[in-house]
Structure 1
Amino acid sequence: MNESNHMWICNVAVSTIWTEPNSPREIDEPGLHEPANIHQWYNALTTDKRRDLCDLNLVQSQLLYGEEVIVDEIEGDWAKIIAINQPSKKDARGYPGWVPLKQLKQVEREAWSYFPIALITSKTAALMDHHNETILDLSFLTYLPVVDQHEQMVKALTPEGEAWLNRHDVAIFPSYDDIPKQTGQAIVESGHEFLELPYFWGGMSAFGYDCSGFTYNMHKANGYQIPRDASDQAKAGEHVPLNHLEIGDLLFFAFENGHIHHVGLYAGNEYMIHSPSTGKGIEMIHVPGTKYEKELCVARRYHT
């Protein structure tokens, strides 16, 4: 197979990028399958088991269905990958880590890149076969090539062939790069749809975001690609003085040693919307009088 004519893409609704092939625990098994059973996995995890994903450095990030990766190495049932649309200081090409090989598939690059895209704009959307039976529940911001369009349905190309999406769940664009750039207000309003969604370390889907996954994806929804991690997000974009904040700016929080550990979206009038930590859900808070007031250290702007 000519590698230059093919590309690797994610073949499950959400694939978790693990630190090492031996990182998953027995309780994580549902998230390793094809298809991955994200709901079963998340529901089985206690707060402590969720917290260990961070504290034990088990998880790095996640991929959405159809997301392109570079495969650097295959070791048994695992692939060492680079998520090329998740900028990171860890690798100039994108975000590195390991995923189960069965959660990836090679497709023809020309066919996958030729068509316009259907971007999922609903929180989740059913991917259906020609009998209208649900194949997968896909996350917000999953995008797939469009093969045909009808009044109520869109036929999309998937790693396994053609399937259908409801027209009301998607927006059609000529390409990923053609998603229009919106205002800071629009970025924050996108976040409102996910209030109370439980935090998930490494989370990059509508089934659970971590703090920087939330800010990354709300920007992605509005036409901006920003770095994946909070520490990287804090070093790019436009520096903003803390007394000149605009809605949609990113607020960063650090420990006394200067290590940035959190990011949120400025929502105006000293409010912030953010995905706080394991055991909590996305929330809108008034920053003054909270621990975040003391830890606020820098702001950045990516919106125009």
Structure 2
Amino acid sequence: MPEQTFDQEPDVLWVAAVQVATVWTSPESARAIDAPGISTPTDMDRWTAELTFEKRVALCDENRVQTQLLYGEAVIIMEIKDDWAHIVIPTQPSKKDKRGYPGWVPLNQLKKVHKTEWDQERTAAVTSKFAWLQSADGEPVIKLSFNTMLPILNDEGNRLKAATPNGPLFLAKEHAAIYQTGSGIRQQPGQKLVSAGEHYRKLDYFWGGMSAFGYDCSGFTYAMHKANGYQIPRDADDQLAGGEKVSYHNLMPGDLLFFAYEEGKGNLHHVGFYYGDGKMLHSPQTGKGIELIDLNGTIYEKELCGAARYWQQAGEK
């Protein structure tokens, strides 16, 4: 991890302490209607339900939101301004900052954890769309998104005791996959990426979204790669630049398709998964849900500008 520039305590990490921490363009970007998304704890169900179409569109058109953090995801704090922290996210590569994706989050949505507690041999990754963290007596505490990853303190039969920003809590095994922290999630072939994504068909698009409460186009492709053992850049243009280029006649399920304005000659604006048989699985735009479509005869067919691959065949690992 890059050197921390704000807090120089060598034994401390800053991590997201809410179910999903939205990363804003500036401390002034959040609006009154965004209160459930900037509170501690957050209420993502309420926030996404109350946002009108126009208010959702403004998150993009008014350049308010950059990305999101999942519970327990580590950040580097660069500065603090009033009650906000200027951060970068090492797990979300970006050309915007070589250390990780930059932006602002409410300071009270972050917590310090000690590296000795956080550095466990095994990690639990949430594999269900949502899973509840529980107290010791089984009471629900925090509703977690798919892809949330937490260190495992102990295996307790049908539950895992996990280290969290809120102290030790419990996660049902049926909602998690366990992997060795040092080696990461086992990398899967491309078909597994699209199979994972199919579970989110009809999920509403959310600008900057990185969780099962709503994904944007590149957040969706990022998340399905992450769930299958690959760390790729956060944004679509970086995803195209960083992947292995693939010719259109060699496309395979799990490859990424990229689209640009002016029939593929203008600015890149979209990414989706090649599904096979001329189809694409993607998170299209505000007001629509994740869908599987035939490319033939669509605007996407005209705007296609590139394809890239991050996944590997079993023999290439």
Secondary structure at the aligned position of 2:60 is classed as helix
> Displacement, 1:177?
4.3
Within-5 A mapping of 1:63-142: 63-142=69-148
> Displacement, 1:263?
0.2
Contact 1:12–1:35 (Cα < 8 Å) also in 2: yes
Secondary structure at the aligned position of 1:117 is classed as strand
Instruction: Report Cα offsets for 1:46-68 as digits up to 9, x if no partner.
Output: 01100000000000000000000
Provide the rounded CA distance (Å) in 2 between the counterparts of 1:83 and 1:241: 32
> Displacement, 1:28?
0.5
Could you tell me the TM-score, scaled by structure 1's length? 0.98
- Give the ranges of 4+ consecutive aligned residues of structure 1 lying more than 4 Å apart after TM superposition: none
Contact 1:117–1:176 (Cα < 8 Å) also in 2: no
Contact 2:13–2:74 (Cα < 8 Å) also in 1: yes
Provide the rounded CA distance (Å) in 2 between the counterparts of 1:64 and 1:19: 17
1:262 lines up with 2:299 in the alignment:
no
1:173 lines up with 2:186 in the alignment:
no
Partner of 2:227: 221
> Displacement, 1:114?
2.7
Gaps of 5+ in 1: none
Provide the rounded CA distance (Å) in 2 between the counterparts of 1:59 and 1:69: 17
Provide the rounded CA distance (Å) in 2 between the counterparts of 1:275 and 1:113: 34
Secondary structure at the aligned position of 1:130 is classed as coil
Partner of 2:4: none
Secondary structure at the aligned position of 1:263 is classed as strand
36, 49, 59: which one pairs with 2:55? 49
Q: How many residues align?
A: 304
Partner of 1:209: 215
> Displacement, 1:110?
2.1
Cα RMSD, aligned residues only:
1.0
Contact 1:177–1:223 (Cα < 8 Å) also in 2: no
The percent of aligned pairs where both chains have the same amino acid is 53
Partner of 2:193: 187
Provide the rounded CA distance (Å) in 2 between the counterparts of 1:176 and 1:258: 41
Letter in structure 2 aligned against 1:266: Y
Partner of 1:247: 253
Provide the rounded CA distance (Å) in 2 between the counterparts of 1:137 and 1:204: 15
254, 277, 283: which one pairs with 1:275? 283
1:287 lines up with 2:277 in the alignment:
no
Provide the rounded CA distance (Å) in 1 between the counterparts of 2:301 and 2:217: 17
Instruction: Report Cα offsets for 1:222-279 as digits up to 9, x if no partner.
Output: 0000000001001011000112101100000001252110000000000000000000
Provide the rounded CA distance (Å) in 2 between the counterparts of 1:185 and 1:41: 33
Provide the rounded CA distance (Å) in 2 between the counterparts of 1:74 and 1:89: 23
142, 159, 163: which one pairs with 1:157? 163
Partner of 1:299: 307
> Displacement, 1:113?
1.4
Provide the rounded CA distance (Å) in 1 between the counterparts of 2:255 and 2:23: 28
> Displacement, 1:176?
6.6
Partner of 1:234: 240
Cα 1:242–1:89, aligned 2, differ >3 Å: closer, same or farther? Answer: same
Provide the rounded CA distance (Å) in 1 between the counterparts of 2:92 and 2:266: 24
Could you tell me the TM-score, scaled by structure 2's length? 0.94
Gaps of 5+ in 2: 1-6, 313-317
Contact 2:121–2:182 (Cα < 8 Å) also in 1: no
Provide the rounded CA distance (Å) in 2 between the counterparts of 1:115 and 1:100: 30
Instruction: Report Cα offsets for 1:86-121 as digits up to 9, x if no partner.
Output: 000000000000000000001111220133101101
Provide the rounded CA distance (Å) in 2 between the counterparts of 1:235 and 1:112: 33
Provide the rounded CA distance (Å) in 1 between the counterparts of 2:9 and 2:120: 18
Provide the rounded CA distance (Å) in 2 between the counterparts of 1:164 and 1:114: 15
